[in-house]
Amino acid sequence: MPGLNMQATLPVPEFVPININIIYSMQNPVDGIQFVISMDAYPYCTWDFEFVIPRYLEQQESAPEDDGELLEGDNSTIVVCSGELVEQVAHSCNSSKTIFMFSQNTSTSVQHIAFAAGPFHVHSISADLSATEDVSGTSQPLMHVFYFPGHESLLGTFVSFMRSAMSFYSTEFRSYPFGLHKLIFVDEMLTQWFDSATLSLITVDLLQGKDAIDQVLKIRHCLSHALACQWIGINIQQKTWSDTWLMNRLGLYITGLFIWKLMRNHEYRFRLKKDMECMLELDNGFMSPICQPQLFEPPDPVTLAFINLKSPLILHILDRHLGKSGTSLELSRVLLKVFLSAISGELPNNTLSTHLFLRTCRKVSGIDPHSFAEQWIYGSGCPMFGFSATFNCKKMVVEISMHQEAPAFKVHENNEVTKVLMKPAAVLFFEGQMTIHIHEADGMPYEHILNIRSSYKCYEVPFNTKYKRVRQNTKQYLACQAAAQATAEGDAEAVAAMNMVNMGFVTDWTEEDEQNMAGQMYEWIRINTGFEWIAAIAFDQKDYMWVSQLQRDRDVGAQYEAIQVLLKTPNAMISSTFAKTVLVSNYYFQIHCEAS
């Protein structure tokens, strides 16, 4: 029949999956994992653990008969768990098994408990002799690294600095909240690391050889972040799902402070600039605010990645915002107050909410962060600025015009539903203070503050120097004389530079450019010098001003900004400037990479 033939042509699955749910219970199990917890104390309580495991994962031809203590250099199975090891004994009924007992005396949430078992070898990280005691007077906590056989040669390069990280965190943010810390390197982890109380599970893929130069900074950042999470994220937890941004990124913020101390200012500011660029591409109106009080579920992986990227930037500009009050430590004082509250028991169950955090900011700094929070924490999107500057000779001022747009608001301007869901309507235009530097003819950068309270305004910034800049051709003449003198003295870099000039590889400014430069009252202007804003900034100034900024401003952020602008107008002079940037060794290596 036609009907049957038509049905026969339809694809019919050969197998249909069947879901079966089996409810069962075990009475007095021999093997497995058992949790015996008082429901009144769940999930924030102290813990006691007992593990019964085989002494060896593989059959031994002749097992040594001892009292259960591990022998030096053997591959006996050991257990590493959250808390401190209380006892390790041989099983009373089965000599092929060992019993490990751990105790976590500090109240800890259940999701911060972890353990691992395997034939680990142990490496102890020695104490810092230059800082035997921290500010609280207690000795440095023990630190151990557990790894599988064969990875011994990879440890020294990447774990030796962990003692410095421990000393830094303990000094800046009070003593370590637990008794010891353990790093465990394991195979086949789904993530790079997992944080738990007193213990960090790290993927063995992070261990690289000494020749992996490019991975050193990344690995050190991951390991120091894992340690920072012991203070904020484990000892102090988020109160609700909407506070995920705070817990996840406070740990990264204090990690950034340690990286700044370890690698100094260049790497910190360069990473900050790159992260801001990435954020401007993502936060275009289709991403939710990082904090949604009505959120009752954990964020999905895409949203979580966005939160993890934006939150450290928010904390950085909050630090700059609190710094306007004149406090010397800015956000660090707020974090110190939070840690002291956790030690004194003022935080119920050591949980921290966004509201409590902002209230602590107000108490410590004296500045009300309400408007800041409405824009950056509870709102979405980033502003886009356009600046231009002209010099007024009669008033002796620099007239700076500012125009602001909110791309996230424009995306949902005509959709009332998404206005409420995405909340861009609360950020029609952003308000705050922006720092600018005007490098005048005397070579000094003069700092000025622009109070932004509208979408458009023209500012009159006072000018200090009463004379014009030194003529550019005079500077070039003096520079050439100095290069020639260095060449005569045998300076290798000067010889290479003079050879490039003589061979025509380096192009100089034209006579018209030199006349224009001689008529300028200032060298260059920098906008948002302190990175107080996560914003796209378009500033209209001459190419030779951007070149001066690249060559003479020592800030890595200023050099990177100049390179990005000059890339948009390629010519022989710009190419010569980039060639000089690559050859001059005074630049940070990341700037060399960008210029090349």
b/e string for 40-59 if b means 16 or more Cβ within 10 A? eeeeeeebebebebebeeee
pTM over 0.75: yes
What are the φ and ψ backbone dihedral angles of 155, each rounded to 5 degrees? Answer: -80, -40
- More confident call, 332 vs 427: 332
Distance CA 591, CA 578 (A): 10
Distance CA 27, CA 29 (A): 6
What percent of the chain clears pLDDT 70, i.e. is strictly above it? 77
Report the range of poorest mean pLDDT among 37-41, 102-106, 448-452, 548-552. 37-41
Instruction: Write down the pLDDT at residue 325.
Output: 55
- The pLDDT of residue 577 is above 80: yes
Instruction: Write down the pLDDT at residue 67.
Output: 47
Distances (CA, A) of 583 to 343, 412, 483, 496: 53, 48, 15, 9
Secondary element (H or E) of residue 352: strand 351-352
Instruction: Sketch the domain layout of the chain as residue ranges.
Output: 44-56+74-128+138-231, 237-377, 542-595
- The pLDDT of residue 60 is above 70: no
Q: Tell me if 44-56+74-128+138-231 shares its fold with 237-377.
A: yes
Instruction: Write down the pLDDT at residue 471.
Output: 45
- The pLDDT of residue 69 is above 60: no
Distance CA 80, CA 430 (A): 50
Three-class SS state of 441: coil
Token pair, residue 382, equals 């980033």
Assigned CATH class of 237-377: mainly alpha
Token pair, residue 214, equals 């490019």
pLDDT tens-digit series, residues 303-326? 888 988 898 899 889 988 887 655
Distance CA 579, CA 551 (A): 12
pLDDT tens-digit series, residues 331-361? 888 888 888 888 888 888 788 899 999 999 8
Report the range of poorest mean pLDDT among 29-38, 198-207, 222-231, 492-501. 492-501
What percent of the chain clears pLDDT 90, i.e. is strictly above it? 11
The number of residues in the chain equals 596
Instruction: Write down the pLDDT at residue 187.
Output: 86
CATH number, span 44-56+74-128+138-231: 1.10.390.10
Most confident of 49-53, 100-104, 512-516: 100-104
Instruction: Write down the pLDDT at residue 269.
Output: 87
Report the range of poorest mean pLDDT among 22-36, 90-104, 485-499. 485-499
Instruction: Write down the pLDDT at residue 157.
Output: 65
Report the range of poorest mean pLDDT among 197-211, 246-260, 305-319, 491-505. 491-505
Give yes or no for a contact between 255 and 218, defined as CB atoms under 8 angstroms apart. Answer: no
Beta strands at 522-527 and 432-440: parallel, antiparallel or unpaired:
antiparallel
Residue 34 pLDDT class (50, 70, 90 cuts): low
- The pLDDT of residue 490 is above 60: no
Distances (CA, A) of 256 to 6, 206, 211: 66, 19, 25
Instruction: Write down the pLDDT at residue 132.
Output: 45
Report the range of poorest mean pLDDT among 14-18, 223-227, 561-565. 14-18
pLDDT tens-digit series, residues 259-292? 888 777 788 888 889 999 999 888 877 788 888 8
Distances (CA, A) of 237 to 110, 173, 195, 459: 12, 16, 12, 45
- The pLDDT of residue 516 is above 90: no
pLDDT tens-digit series, residues 97-115? 899 999 998 888 888 889 9
The DSSP annotation for 66-105 comes to SSSPPPTT----EEEESSEEEEEEE-SS-TTEEEEEEEEE
Residue tagged 């004149």 (tokens): 326
Report the range of poorest mean pLDDT among 8-17, 111-120, 303-312. 8-17
Q: What single DSSP character describes residue 455?
A: S
Report the range of poorest mean pLDDT among 24-38, 100-114, 309-323, 582-596. 24-38
Task: Kindly state the average pLDDT of the residues 131-141.
Answer: 55
Give yes or no for a contact between 194 and 203, defined as CB atoms under 8 angstroms apart. Answer: no
Residue tagged 């000039």 (tokens): 501
Residue 445: other Cβ atoms inside 10 A = 17
The answer to whether the peptide bond before residue 43 is cis (omega within 30 degrees of 0) is yes
